[in-house]
């Protein structure tokens, strides 16, 4: 039943520092008080409680009220983070703040820096809207104790977020410049809950700015990942997906020697409305259509796409007269094989990927005598793997230079994909050909998602309860032989809400709620050894994955 406390709503309005959201909430309250059912429902939702501080910070729709992203919520979050820094470090703590190009991102970033400065904390803000990897880089390069990136990454246009990184004196060497994890998130959340009303939090505009030299250093460091001995004769089509990636990507890829970069003009300038895509996520069906059409027109060798904050990277390549978009696992395997060669023989060098990513990376690491570790989903876990040399997650996130950026970085990943495409072409192969070589060596590892997007959030726990209580006995024609409830944790993994099923054929599915979107996500993988010929094995894997998806979809139905 929809309910709200009028006194609580009026108190929030009285202390909201933004006239825009004050007026929005005042109007909504008037409609609710007049008995309009939709207004009552909306107001109840906005005041169901505070926006949860988790998944490395805050994320939600931009609107008025405590359960939305707005200036009042962000100011209290900043005050809580600053109180945490002062308690742990003192007034000489250093906070670095960045932002993307979404609506209100810059004002949220400026408020954060101003609150930190007013509290006596040293605060530096990025000089303009820049990709998330630049903020992660700056935290490490400056030895900052914490960083804040205002971004909702690839979420819909209505959303924004507040991502927190720790470094300096707040974490060990493996957590420097990595998104925060427990117990820090709960400790900061407690400080936020104790923060005063938003309009009572002092602000001061005397904060500083991150110098251009840091941005230049990122460009140099990233461009240097590409060795000199390769052909640069490659035609690249690039899309920034209406985000902030274009200026830095162009600087990096040109510094590495590539000159023929053709941009999808309609998508390469920041636009917080994301007008040409329903969802600004390169993984979504149709998101790369404009880029692929341009690539066909100019006879390009590769399409590279960044998501709006450029921490993720997707790609498409010519294939059988059209264009094939590479999956996150495809890219992770290709970059992993290359990085394994770079790191072969290095003591303690470790590869890491999330439990929902393809198991092929573990085979690649083993083949190169490198250590491998599997982590929980999210780069806050992947990037803090000790001695990490390469890490990825299937949701097109890749860490190819952890000494510089201990997070996913779509700029450096895009650069290395371009390099690999050029290198393999010189060798008479291609990115698809290299995948086939890996399959021939290790077996065909084929993965695919089953996703349930919901409007009613109660469906998510109900679905998870069902898969726990009524597991299938068979999937894709093979008996289920192992069930692991990830909420129980293990020696290697902290508890998380998810369940994993394995079959006798070594097929695997992991089912979990999304941490950032209203979805239940299922990650499927089948493995087929190459016994006779590769094409037969690939066809068998595709057939089995199709049956696997159908069985999982049936298992999810309430």
**Which active-site residues does the annotation give?**
153
- CA gap 158, 151 in Å, rounded: 12
Concatenate the DSSP letters of all residues of 453-467 into one string. Answer: E-SSTTHHHHHHHHH
Q: Which residues contact 221 (CB under 8 A, 6 or more apart)?
A: 137, 401, 404
Selection from 135, 70, 88, 79 nearest residue 112 by Cα: 79
Q: Categorise residue 392: left if φ over 0, alpha if ψ from -120 to 50, beta otherwise.
A: beta
Determine how many CB atoms are found less than 10 A away from the CB of residue 168.
Answer: 21
Concatenate the DSSP letters of all residues of 466-506 into one string. Answer: HHHHS--SEETTEEEEEEEEGGG--SSS---S-EEEEETT-
Give me the numbers of helices (H) and strands (E) for the chain, helices first please: 17, 22
- Calculate the alpha carbon distances from 378 to 183, 331, 354, 355 in Å: 16, 17, 7, 10
Assess contact for 432 and 316: CB atoms under 8 A.
no
Dihedrals φ, ψ of 288, to 5°? -100, 10
| HSE of 131, CA atoms in CB hemisphere, 13 A | 31
Determine how many CB atoms are found less than 10 A away from the CB of residue 293.
Answer: 12
Residue spans of alpha helices (H) in 149-245: 184-193, 212-223
- CA gap 505, 526 in Å, rounded: 8
Overall size of the chain counted in residues: 558
């Amino acid at each position: 039943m929809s309910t709200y406390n009028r006194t609580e709503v009026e108190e929030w309005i009285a202390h909201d520092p933004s006239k825009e959201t004050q007026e929005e909430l005042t109007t909504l309250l008037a409609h609710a008080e007049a008995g309009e059912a939709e207004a009552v429902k909306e107001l109840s939702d906005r005041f169901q409680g505070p926006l949860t501080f988790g998944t490395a910070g805050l994320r939600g729709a931009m609107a008025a009220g405590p359960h939305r992203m707005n200036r009042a919520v962000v100011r209290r979050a900043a005050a809580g983070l600053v109180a945490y820094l002062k308690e742990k470090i003192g007034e000489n703590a250093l906070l670095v703040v960045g932002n993307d190009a979404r609506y209100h991102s810059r004002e949220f970033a400026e408020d954060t820096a101003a609150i930190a400065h007013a509290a006596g904390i040293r605060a530096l803000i990025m000089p303009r809207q820049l990709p998330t990897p630049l903020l992660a880089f700056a935290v490490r390069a400056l030895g900052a104790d914490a960083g804040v990136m205002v971004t909702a990454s690839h979420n819909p246009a209505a959303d924004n977020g507040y991502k927190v990184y720790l470094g300096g004196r707040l974490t060990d060497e493996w957590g420097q410049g990595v998104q925060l994890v427990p117990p820090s998130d709960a400790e900061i959340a407690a400080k936020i809950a104790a923060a005063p009303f938003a309009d009572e939090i002092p602000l001061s505009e005397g904060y500083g700015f991150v110098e251009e030299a840091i941005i230049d250093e990122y460009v140099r460091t990233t461009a240097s990942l590409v060795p000199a001995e390769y052909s640069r004769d490659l035609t690249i089509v690039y899309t920034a997906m209406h985000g902030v990636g274009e200026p830095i990507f162009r600087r990096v890829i040109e510094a590495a020697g590539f000159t023929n970069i053709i941009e999808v003009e309609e998508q390469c300038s920041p636009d917080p409305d994301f007008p040409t895509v329903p969802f600004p996520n390169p993984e979504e069906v149709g998101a790369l259509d404009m880029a692929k059409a341009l690539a066909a027109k100019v006879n390009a060798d590769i399409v590279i796409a960044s998501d709006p904050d450029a921490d993720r990277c997707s790609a498409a390549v010519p294939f059988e007269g059209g264009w094939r978009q590479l999956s996150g696992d495809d890219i992770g395997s290709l970059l992993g094989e290359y990085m394994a060669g770079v790191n072969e023989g290095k003591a303690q060098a470790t590869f890491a990927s999330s439990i929902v990513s393809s198991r092929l990376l573990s085979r690649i690491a083993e083949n190169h005598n490198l250590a491998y570790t599997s982590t929980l989903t999210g780069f806050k876990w992947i990037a803090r793997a000790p001695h990490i040399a390469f890490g990825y997650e299937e949701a097109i996130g890749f860490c190819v230079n952890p000494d510089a950026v201990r997070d996913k970085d779509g700029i450096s990943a895009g650069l290395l994909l371009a390099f690999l495409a050029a290198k393999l072409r010189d060798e008479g192969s291609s990115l698809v050909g290299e995948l086939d070589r890996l399959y021939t060596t290790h077996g065909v590892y084929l993965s695919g998602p089953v996703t349930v997007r919901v409007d009613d959030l109660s469906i998510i726990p109900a679905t998870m309860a069902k898969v726990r209580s009524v597991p299938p006995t068979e999937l894709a024609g093979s008996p289920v032989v192992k069930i692991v409830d990830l909420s129980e944790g293990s020696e290697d993994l902290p508890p998380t809400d998810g369940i994993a099923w394995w079959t006798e054929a070594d097929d695997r599915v992991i089912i979990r709620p999304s941490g950032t979107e209203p979805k239940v996500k299922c990650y499927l993988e089948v493995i087929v050894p190459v016994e006779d010929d590769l094409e037969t094995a690939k066809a068998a894997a595709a057939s089995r994955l199709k049956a696997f998806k159908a069985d999982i979809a049936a298992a999810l139905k309430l």
